[in-house]
Structure 1
C-alpha cells in the first residue's frame, strides 16, 4: 500500500515539474521562505514588534512544534522522494523524469513535513491576532476571513513546493499541515508569555534531555537512526547540497537554544518606561531582520560538533537580541541629544 502511495506521489511530482518553467523559481522561493529557520529569524521578529505576546507565542509554538516534528520523524520513518525513487527500483521499471534542486537533499526522515507542520503551527497565533484586528476595524466577512484565507493559501503553496523539489510525498505534506494547524490551535492558549527565566531554562533542559532519552531509546530498540542521512548522501546529485542544518539534531539545537534565549530575554527586559513608539517598532523590526540574517551567516565552522555548538549559541542569543538589545539601541538613538538619561 505504501509503495502505491509513494508511486502516486512520484507521478504527482512529475506533473508539477512538467509545469511552466517560470514556476520553478516560484516553488523554490516558497520552499526557502517556509524553511523552519525562518520562523526563528523572520516571523518571530516581525510578530514581536507587532505585538510582544504574539511574538513570544510564535517563537514558543515554533520551537515546540519543531521538537515534536523531530520526534515524529524518528518514529514514523518517512521516505523522501529524491531517494525513494531510486531505492524502490521504480526508475528501473519505468521512465521517470525528475530533477533535484539545491533544496531537495534534506537529510532527516520525511514524515510529516516539517515545513508545513512548523510553519502552520507557528503562524497560527499571528493569523489569529490579525483576524481579531480585522474584525475590530471591519464588518466585512471577507476582510475578517482574509488572514485565514492567506494562511490556507500559504500552506497549500508550501506543500506543493515541497512536492515539487522532491523533499516530500503528498501524504506527508497533508499530515504536516493538519498537525501544524492542530498544534497552533492547541498551544496558542498555553504560551508562557509572562514566565520567568527559570521556566524557560527548565523547558530548554527538558527538551534536550527528552531528545537524548528518545534518541537512546530508538538506538536501544536496534533502529538505525542515521538511515536517512546515509540515503540522502547516497542519492543527492550534488554533495554540496547536503546541509548540516537539515539534520534532526540541528533542529534540537535550534529549539533548545531558542527556549534558553527566551529565558535570557526574560532576565534582561527593557528598562522600565522603555516603550517603543510605532516608528521605533518599525525601525526595530527592520534592524532585527537584518541583524538576524547577518548574525546567522557568521561563524560557520566545518567541524560538525563545533557547528552544532555554534548553532545552539546563535539561537540562544537571538531572542535576547530581538527583545532587549536592539530595541534598547533604537531607544538610545532616538533619545534627543542633551536630554537627561532616564530609565
Structure 2
C-alpha cells in the first residue's frame, strides 16, 4: 500500500507543478463540487426544472452522503496531506507540496465524498436531460452531451481532489464508481409521493443509525476521531479546519434534509396548482438566493450548538424550496393560466 501512496504523492506533485492558472481552476472545481452544493444549488435548480427530478437529486444525495460517512468510518482511508508527513516521506524526499484552504478535510479519506456524492446526486438530473435531448434533437452529439459533461465533471472533480491533497487517486476512482452505481440504483427508488411520516422516519433512522454505528466503532476499541487528530496535527493553517468537514456534520445535513422533505410533503401545493416556465425560472432564482442566504447565517462556536443549527438549516432548505417559494412565486408572478384547474 505504501508504494501506491508514494506513487500518488508523486502524481499530486506533478499536478501541482502546472501553470498558476490551473491552480485556480482546480481549487475552484473542488470548491464548487463540495457536497453542500447538492443541497444548496443543484437541488433547487433541479426542483424547478421538474419536481420529481429535484426530489430525486436531494434524496440520492443525502443517501449517498450518509453511506459515504459509514464507508469512511470502516475503511479508515488516509488523506494525502497528512500521510506524506505521517509516513516520513516528506522528511526523506524533497517533495514540494502545498496545502490550500480546502485541503484540510477532517474525516477519513476513502472513498472520496466529493466524487461519490456528486456522482450519485447528479445521475437523475443527467438522465433527465439526456431524455429531453433525445426527444427534441436528432443529433447524437447533443444527445450525448449531458452524459459527456457528467463524465468530464467527475474527472475534473477527482483530479482537483488529488491536486489539493485531500485524496489519493484510488479513493477518487472508488468514489466515482460508487457514486455512479448509487445514482443508477437509487433513481428508480425515489420516494416522490411519500407521506411526511416516511421522511420523518427516514431522518430519525439516519440520525440514530449513525449514532449506533459510532458507538459500535468506539465499543470495538477504535478511536473514531483519529482522522480529526491527524488533520489538526498536519494542517498548515488551523483556520482551514472546518466543522462542516467532520463526518457528523454530514449526518446532520442528511437527516435534516430528509426531515425538510417531510415538512414539504406535509404542505404541498393545492391540487391543480402548477408553475409555467417563467414562474419556474423566477422560482429557481429565488430558491438559489434563499439557500445562499440561509447557509451564510452565522453559526455558534460551540460544537454541539453548531450541529443543531446546521441540522435546522438543512431542515429549512427543502421546505423553502418545495413548499414556501412555489407559493410565493404563484402569488407575486401570476402569469400562468394553469394556477388552479
Deviation at residue 342 of structure 1 after TM alignment: 7.7
Task: Please state if 1:25 is matched with 2:34.
Answer: no
Task: Please state if 1:85 is matched with 2:84.
Answer: yes
Deviation at residue 19 of structure 1 after TM alignment: 0.5
Q: Which residue does the alignment assign to 1:269? A: 268
Q: Which residue does the alignment assign to 1:126? A: 125
Q: Which residue does the alignment assign to 1:226? A: 225
Q: Which residue does the alignment assign to 1:237? A: 236
State the SS of the aligned residue for 1:273. Answer: coil
Q: Which residue does the alignment assign to 2:253? A: 254
Q: Which runs of 5+ in 2 are unaligned?
A: none
- Check conservation: 1:39, 1:62, Cα contact below 8 A: yes
Q: Which residue does the alignment assign to 1:325? A: 324
State the SS of the aligned residue for 2:188. Answer: helix
Task: Please state if 1:297 is matched with 2:296.
Answer: yes
State the SS of the aligned residue for 1:145. Answer: helix
TM-score (norm 2): 0.97
Superposed CA deviations along residues 33-69 of structure 1, whole A, max 9, x for unmatched, are 1000000000000000001000000000000000000
Superposed CA deviations along residues 268-321 of structure 1, whole A, max 9, x for unmatched, are 112333311110100100110011011111131111110000000000111010
Hey, what's the Cα distance between the residues in 1 that align with 2:32 and 2:108? 21
- Check conservation: 2:199, 2:261, Cα contact below 8 A: yes
- Check conservation: 1:35, 1:115, Cα contact below 8 A: yes
State the SS of the aligned residue for 1:190. Answer: coil
Hey, what's the Cα distance between the residues in 1 that align with 2:186 and 2:248? 23
Q: Which residue does the alignment assign to 2:164? A: 165
Paired residues, what number?
Answer: 338
- For 1:127-142, list aligned pairs within 5 A: 127-142=126-141
- Check conservation: 2:35, 2:117, Cα contact below 8 A: yes
Superposed CA deviations along residues 7-55 of structure 1, whole A, max 9, x for unmatched, are 1111000000000111111101100110000000000000000010000
TM-score (norm 1): 0.97
- Check conservation: 1:299, 1:310, Cα contact below 8 A: no
Q: Which residue does the alignment assign to 2:64? A: 65
Root-mean-square deviation (CA, aligned residues, Å) is 1.2
- For 1:179-194, list aligned pairs within 5 A: 179-194=178-193
- Check conservation: 2:117, 2:179, Cα contact below 8 A: yes
Q: Which moved more, 1:196-205 or 1:264-273?
A: 264-273
Superposed CA deviations along residues 163-220 of structure 1, whole A, max 9, x for unmatched, are 0000000000000000000000011100000100011011111111111111111001
Q: Which residue does the alignment assign to 2:280? A: 281
Hey, what's the Cα distance between the residues in 1 that align with 2:340 and 2:252? 38
- Check conservation: 2:200, 2:258, Cα contact below 8 A: yes
Hey, what's the Cα distance between the residues in 1 that align with 2:45 and 2:186? 20
Hey, what's the Cα distance between the residues in 1 that align with 2:119 and 2:40? 16
Q: Which runs of 5+ in 1 are unaligned?
A: none
Hey, what's the Cα distance between the residues in 1 that align with 2:96 and 2:56? 43
Q: Which residue does the alignment assign to 2:206? A: 207
Hey, what's the Cα distance between the residues in 1 that align with 2:187 and 2:326? 25
